[in-house]
Amino acid sequence: MLEARGADAEHGEDVFESRQGEWVPLTEEAEKRQKRFFRAVAASERALLLLDYDGTLAGFRADRFQSRPWAGVRELLTAMQAEGRTRLAVITGRPSEEIAPMLALPKAVEVWGLHGAERLYPNGRRVLDAARGASHRKLNAVRAQLKKDALGGLYEDKANAAVLHWRGFPATKARAIEQRARALFEPLAKLEGLRLLNFDGGVELRAGRDKGGAVEAILAEEKPKTPVAYLGDDLSDEAAFRAVNRARGARLSVLVRRKQRPSAAQIWLRPPAELRGFLQQWKQALQA
Ligand SMILES: [Mg+2]
């Protein structure tokens, strides 16, 4: 059940637009849940802050290399890095090496790229969890085919995936691209080791760990009740929300999005103001 975030006094926002388009007061539930979580962070030796990048820390740009973090975000993450109790990790659909130049933080950051399939350690070591054997050959055949003919959409090639985008195309054209993409991908997604990943404006045929798997891998490296939060905006973040909801300690799954949608996330924040507010409260919890 998704709860709206409580009123943010600093920004004077005390209402939100519901799924039905009515203006309704914010619930106190979300505010309470968030406060409880930050009390747990304040009381812990260590906490996990897991973040998607595009749409969560930065707005969308046609050229993704122009998507810089929203104002204030870099400073707040820098403060957390310096304080040292927060394990910060970015879990993104992009190749992992693209994140550090965008964030430009003083210390190296842990990144899980390709929706979790690729891990980049802060020391620069990179490990890819990719397809093997028959599924690998099928995936590579599709990648080669789409490089030549993108079915009218925009093809993005990844080491572990074939991605077809229709974001920004007129509705009729977008539907036609989607139909062709699904006709190609869906039979293959039934094969062992390959899966379909839906996201806003596209679909991905992929192998390897997803964002939920990345969250689980991170949690497995920590003490059992370490507080964990995951912030994301897209359908591909749902697996990560569910993984956080299953964690044993204090946990918070957060949908960061201008408009609410059905989600496994526990609370909803609207960027960038409410995102900044969340990171500020995290920083304050560490100082408490
Ligand atoms: Mg995103």
**pLDDT tens per residue, range 79-123:** 999 999 999 999 999 999 999 999 999 999 999 999 999 999 999
Q: What is residue 2's predicted lDDT score, i.e. its pLDDT?
A: 54
Higher pLDDT, 138 or 17: 138
Residues 139, 117 share a domain: no
128 CA to centre of ligand 1 in angstroms? 20
Number of domains in the chain: 2
Q: What's the pLDDT band for 64 if we cut at 50, 70, 90? A: confident
- Provide the token pair at 186: 């869906």
92 CA to centre of ligand 1 in angstroms? 7
- Provide the token pair at 53: 């990048």
Residues 264, 219 share a domain: yes
Sequence letter at residue 205: L
Q: What percent of the chain has pLDDT over 90?
A: 77
288 CA to centre of ligand 1 in angstroms? 31
Angle at 222 between CA 217 and CA 102, to 5 degrees: 65
Q: What is residue 22's predicted lDDT score, i.e. its pLDDT?
A: 34
Residues 158, 47 share a domain: no
Which residues are in the CB-under-5-Å shell of ion ligand 1?
A: 52, 54-55, 233-234
Residue 20 pLDDT greater than 50, yes or no: no
53 CA to centre of ligand 1 in angstroms? 6
Q: What's the pLDDT band for 11 if we cut at 50, 70, 90? A: very low
Residues 18, 106 share a domain: yes
Strands 267-269 and 202-207: unpaired
Q: Which of 233, 277, 252 is nearest to 58 (CA)?
A: 233
60 CA to centre of ligand 1 in angstroms? 9
Cis peptide before 262 (omega within 30 of 0): no
Q: What is residue 76's predicted lDDT score, i.e. its pLDDT?
A: 97
Sequence letter at residue 16: F
Residues 262-273 have pLDDT tens digits of 899 999 999 999
Residues 145, 265 share a domain: no
94 CA to centre of ligand 1 in angstroms? 10
Residues 248, 121 share a domain: yes
Residues 149, 108 share a domain: no
72 CA to centre of ligand 1 in angstroms? 18
Domain enclosing residue 159, as ranges: 133-207
Q: Could you tell me which residues are beta bridge partners of residue 47?
A: 86
Q: What is the pTM of this model?
A: 0.82
